[in-house]
Chain A
Amino acid sequence: MVSQDEQTAIREVTITNAHGLHLRPVMKFVDVASRYVADIRVDKGAGTTPADGKSPMALMVLEAPKGTVLRILATGTDAVQTVEALAALIQTKFDEE
């Protein structure tokens, strides 16, 4: 059932940390993603297979090295906050560098 305050939000973010989306950034991503109720899909652009943004394994299969443009799509009551938080995490290079 879709409630009145159901939202959809989408953001494109470029991976800028040197080692790309390897396991530790993925774990941080899932940690942040899990704080939100929104359903999160992450892909590498239209036509690519989306990964569940709350599954470390699915995100690892994306294979996103530095320079990859990721698309984050959230659906749920906190979708806007969700994509903002995840985009900020990627833009700050996951605090890696």
Chain B
Amino acid sequence: MKLRDFFCTKTIVPELQARDRDGVIREMVRALAEHGAIDASHADAIARDLIKREKQGSTGFGKGVAVPHVKHVHVPRMMATIGRSAHGVDFSALDRAPVYTVVMLLSSESDPDAHLAAMGKIFSHLQDDKFRRFLRQADTREKIEDLIIEADANDAEAG
């Protein structure tokens, strides 16, 4: 599995406008709807679900990254996107530090193992300090997309 198999790069938000967690989640879901990745009529419900899950337990695992995710009946296929905040957002993270990189994963309800595999793939790259630092610095969609392509290439090399 490659990141590019499920990252919807045209929906990346390189400069998040929202300054709070719920606003960031809504902004990213809106970007997915604007590009037709999800049906706009379900965007509010999906954002609400993501926020509800986040309240049950933060996906901010530390190091400036949060990974809000949900399995939802109105998500046609597994998809991920990235939002970047220059200011940092409070996600009630494990280390209490602000979040600068938000990796959102939406999955259909049918395949929990694919969801787990995608999360594993995302985290295998997030473990890399350099990848996290570059993601935080990448201020355009193209730069973020290049990082995803590069990460896949490094994976292929590692075999």
Residues of A within 8 A of B (CB): 18-24, 26-28, 30, 56-58, 60-66
Query: How many of chain B's residues touch chain A, expressed as a range?
Result: 20 to 34
A18, A20, A58, A63, most chain B CB atoms within 10 A: A63
List residues of chain B with CB within 8 A of the CB of A23: 59, 61, 67, 69, 119
Contact: B115 with A22, CB < 8 Å?
yes
- A20 and B69 CA atoms in complex are apart in Å by 15
- Report whether B123 and A20 are in contact in the complex, using a CB–CB cutoff of 8 Å: no
In the assembled complex, the Cα of A22 lies from the Cα of B68 at a distance in Å of 12
- CB within 8 Å of A: which residues of B? 56-59, 61-63, 67, 69, 94, 112-113, 115-117, 119-120, 122-124, 126-127
Taking CB as reference atom, which chain B residue is nearest A30? Answer: B94
Cβ-defined contact, A56 with B112, below 8 A: no
Inter-chain contact B94/A27, CB cutoff 8 Å: yes
Q: How far is the CA of A49 from the CA of B94 in the complex (A)?
A: 25
Give the docked Cα–Cα distance between A52 and B127 (Å): 12
